[in-house]
Amino acid sequence: MLCFTLISFSQKEGQALIDSLLVELPKMSEDTLKVATLNKLAVAHQNFNASQGLQYGQKALTLAKKIQWNDGIAESYNAIGMNYFSEGNFSETKDYYLKALQVTNNKKINNLTLKSLGVYYSSQGDYSKGLDYCFQALKLSEELKDEENIAKVLSNIGVNYFNLNDVKKAIEYYEKALKLNTKMDAKLSMSKNLRNIGNAYLYLKENDKAIDYFNRALKIDRQLGNKVGIAVNLASSSAIYFELKDYEKAIEYGTKSLALAKEINRPNIIGINYSNLGGFYLQMAKEENDKATATKLLDKASTNSLEALDIYKKMNDISNLYIVYNQLSSIEELKNSYKSALDYHKSSVFYKDSIFNSDNRETIKNLEDKREIELRDKELKINKLTLENKDRQKWYLVLGISLLGVIGFLLLFQSMNRKKVNQKLQLLNTELDQSNKIKAQFFGILNHDLRSPVANLIHFLHLQNDAPELLNEESKTRLNNKTMVSAENLLTSMEDILLWSKGQMENFKPQPKNIAINSLFEDTKSHFFSEEKVQLSFENKQNIHIITDECYLKTIIRNLTGNAIKAMEHTEKPIIVWKAWKENNKTFLSISDNGSGGSQEQFKALYDDNEVVGIKTGLGLHLIRDLAKAIDCEITVDSKPKAGTTFILFFK
């Protein structure tokens, strides 16, 4: 079956980078800048045209030696080693990396070389030495604060841990690398690490997470025109179609992947596709009833398998050599060439034993290609899951339509509810308008009713002041009685105004603040200063403060004090005492007098909201009651005939 790992790098940031470098190259002199540009071109070609990359690297090396620039020589050795690595020439790879370490002490260049050596040893299955070089490179990268190489080394360390089956630690390093890739907007490296994380989650059988990471990687590859990634995806698709027994599609996608792999000179992907196509034709031959057609299919299977065999021999890819020899043995057996089948079988067994007995059994072309081989079947599962998820998408569409229906219903309900609210507001506006008209009529009536008694009173006062001789005793008595009636009418009208204004209290809200009780007592003492017959005393031993509305509380205190004074008009030596104290963290105020007292019925207006009275019978108590409720204050009264009265204010 399909066997490949994910590609770690591609065309850097696209063909645009190579094109821009090629435009500038002819304009350059034979100096360090030209060496650096040639090395950039060499590195840019390493993963899709390694032979071209080697040419640029050799040109850079020749010029660097000519101008005796050691750093340039080291960078050229690195670039050449990378391209040999891409071609699968591992012995040359190692030699050039070691040469790079010997010619310079430049930490930045040595950091790159250590990282490359880590990848090289890991690709040879020597993970211990690979991690050792990776951690050396990581330490040096951190010293240099080189975030680009820190990210690359972290990713390589993750690959090592993954191959050692420490998958959770691998994910930890991949995610650190991805975070730096995202910060630097290094899209190709982002794509690599997204695929690496996807592979790790696939290994852990967390398929939904794996699919998400693979899709994100594929999106980036398509944006960048990453041909390697596209070739890998085509090969994956061909294997999926083969599993679904759609052999025509499997061959179509495998052929496209093979053509693209040849175009970008990726031997490992070329070998994969030849091997896969050989397997496809072999399976088709097994299922074909027509002997002539079956023979043709076996010939195609043999041709493709032999192409794969030639490539894997050059790469010394033990794992895939085992697969191809086993495949060729089956082909020859179906052809009735039993001797050839046996020979291929023996070779297959030899490489199988090599895989399980060799200390270096995981030697492959490069680290990323190794991961492609290890994760071959898992890639197939991901693609297969993607195809299967199309059915789920249909249900998601149905769910989406249902949600839109629910939203439409909610909007309709909201519209109907708004209509009801608007109707209520219209009704309230109508009632408010009617109320304003009634108030206007009420004020007109009050104006009319107040004018008559006030005019009579003024007339009597003028007559008494200007012509007292015109008034005999009978006239005086008559006018006095008439004036008294007018005054009483005036008082009644004023009571109506007060009652109406009291009803509007609900439109006003208290403004609480911290108040000293002593300041309220001083205000009361000053307000009733002219009451010389009454002895007023105040006690506030605890120097209490209270948080409430000052105006409301002042009004309550004044009304209670004024009521007490009126109640003691006929009391000898009248005394009023105000006290303030705290008990159980609650504040109390009280007013006591030594007047004649009264019955509870007289104080009914203090408790009954429905009691409507006039000034003579308790309008003041109504005001006190409503003001007290507004500031969350309770009032109790203790009064007995001929024993005085005490009001206690309790603040909650």
Spatial separation of the C-alpha atoms in residues 26 and 507, rounded to whole Å: 87
Q: Is 652 helix (H, G, I), strand (E, B) or coil?
A: coil
Segment 226-253 mean pLDDT = 76
Tell me, yes or no, whether 645 and 517 share the same domain: yes
Q: Is residue 474 assigned to a domain?
A: yes
Give me the mean pLDDT over the 265-292 stretch. Answer: 90
Measured distance between the N- and C-terminal CA atoms of the chain, rounded to whole angstroms: 83
For residue 486, being part of any structural domain is answered with: yes
**Quick check: 403 and 355 in contact, CB under 8 A?**
no
Shared domain check, 561 and 638: yes
Regarding whether 529 and 448 lie in a shared domain, the answer is: no
Dist CA 323 CA 298 (whole Å): 17
**For residue 291, pLDDT beyond 70:** yes
- pLDDT of 259 reads 94
Give the CATH number for residue 617.
Answer: 3.30.565.10
CB 177 within 8 A of CB 193: yes
Q: 605 and 491, same structural domain?
A: no
**Paired residues of 592 in beta bridges:** 577, 646
Instruction: Assign 236 a pLDDT band (cuts: 50, 70, 90).
Output: low
Name 308's Cβ contacts closer than 8 Å, sequence gap at least 6. 271, 272, 274, 275, 278, 320, 324
In degrees and rounded to multiples of 5, residue 532 shows phi and psi of -75, -25
**Position 595 in a domain:** yes
Please report which confidence band the pLDDT of residue 98 belongs to, taking 50, 70 and 90 as the band edges. Answer: very high
Lowest mean pLDDT of 49-53, 543-547, 579-583, name the range: 49-53
> Does pLDDT of 12 surpass 50?
no
The answer to whether residues 490 and 605 belong to one domain is: no
CB count within 10 Å of CB 646 equals 17
Measured distance CA(586)–CA(385) in Å, rounded: 71
Span 472-500, pLDDT tens digits: 777 667 767 666 655 665 665 565 455 44
| Contact between residue 235 and residue 253 where contact means Cβ atoms under 8 Å apart | yes
Q: Other C-beta atoms within 10 Å of 72: how many?
A: 26
Average pLDDT over residues 86-114: 89
If asked whether residues 587 and 520 sit together in one domain, one would say yes
- The reply to whether 589 and 518 lie within a common domain is yes
**How many helices and strands (H and E) does the chain possess?**
23, 7
Q: For the chain, how many structural domains are there in total? A: 2
**Band of residue 304 on the pLDDT scale cut at 50, 70, 90:** very high
**575-583 vs 545-548, strand pairing mode:** unpaired
* DSSP-assigned letters across all residues of 510-555: ---EEEEHHHHHHHHHHHTTT-TTSEEEEE-TT--EEEE-HHHHHH
pLDDT digits (tens, 9 = 90+) for 502-555: 544 444 578 899 999 999 999 888 877 767 788 999 999 999 999 998 888 888
Q: Cβ(285)–Cβ(273) under 8 Å?
A: no
Kindly state whether residue 232 falls inside one of the protein's structural domains.
no
Residues 6+ apart with CB under 8 A from 78: 39, 96, 97, 100, 109, 112, 113, 116
Whether residue 187 contacts residue 220, with contact meaning beta carbons closer than 8 Å, is answered with: yes
The residue segments making up the domain with residue 593 are: 513-651
Q: Which of 503, 537, 561 is the last residue of a domain?
A: 503
DSSP assignment letter at 640: -
Q: Using DSSP, state whether 335 is helix, strand or coil.
A: coil
305 part of a folded domain: no
- Provide the whole-model pTM: 0.42
Report which of residues 34 and 269 the model is more confident about.
Answer: 34
The C-alpha atoms of residue 196 and residue 191 are separated, in whole angstroms, by 9
Assign 77 a pLDDT band (cuts: 50, 70, 90): very high
Give the pLDDT mean for 42-67. Answer: 88
What CATH number does residue 484 fall under? Answer: 1.10.287.130
Q: Which residues contact 322 (CB under 8 A, 6 or more apart)?
A: 348, 351, 352, 354, 355
Q: At 512, which amino acid appears?
A: P
How far apart, in whole angstroms, are the C-alpha atoms of residue 14 and residue 175? 24
Q: Classify residue 416: in a domain, yes or no.
A: yes
Q: In this structure, are 498 and 530 located in the same domain?
A: no
Q: How far apart are CA 71 and CA 64, in angstroms?
A: 8
What digits encode the pLDDT tens for the residues 607-644? 776 665 443 444 567 778 888 888 889 999 988 877 78
Average pLDDT, the chain: 79
* Burial of residue 86 (number of CB atoms within 10 Å: 0-12, 13-18, 19+): buried
Return the closest-CA partner of residue 645 out of 600, 614, 606: 600
Pairing of strands 633-639, 575-583: unpaired
Q: Which of 115-124, 131-140, 224-233, 585-594 has the lowest mean pLDDT?
A: 224-233
Residue finishing a domain among 503, 537, 566: 503
**Is pLDDT above 90 for 434?**
no
| pLDDT given at position 615 | 39
Same domain for 481 and 560: no
Nearest to 80 by CA among 119, 38, 114: 38
C-alpha to C-alpha distance for 472 and 14, rounded to whole angstroms: 124
Domain termination residue (choose one: 503, 522, 540): 503
If asked whether residues 526 and 646 sit together in one domain, one would say yes
Q: Which residues lie across from 588 on neighbouring strands?
A: 581, 650
| Helix 267-287 vs helix 227-243: crossing angle, to nearest 10 | 20
Max CA pair span of the chain: 163
Specify whether 461 is located in the same domain as 571: no
User: Quick check: is 627 in a domain?
Assistant: yes
pLDDT cut 90: percent of the chain above it: 30
CA dist 550 → 515, 516, 580, 627 (Å) = 7, 10, 16, 11
Does a structural domain hold residue 153? no
Q: Is the pLDDT of residue 13 over 90?
A: no
Task: Say yes or no: 421 and 450 in one domain.
Answer: yes
Of residues 210 and 630, the one with the higher pLDDT is 630
Contact between residue 189 and residue 151 where contact means Cβ atoms under 8 Å apart: yes
Residues 556, 398: Cα–Cα separation, whole Å = 68
Query: Please, are residues 546 and 515 in contact by the beta-carbon 8 Å criterion?
Result: yes
Alpha-carbon Rg for the chain in angstroms: 51
Cα–Cα distance between 439 and 233 in angstroms, integer?
Answer: 84
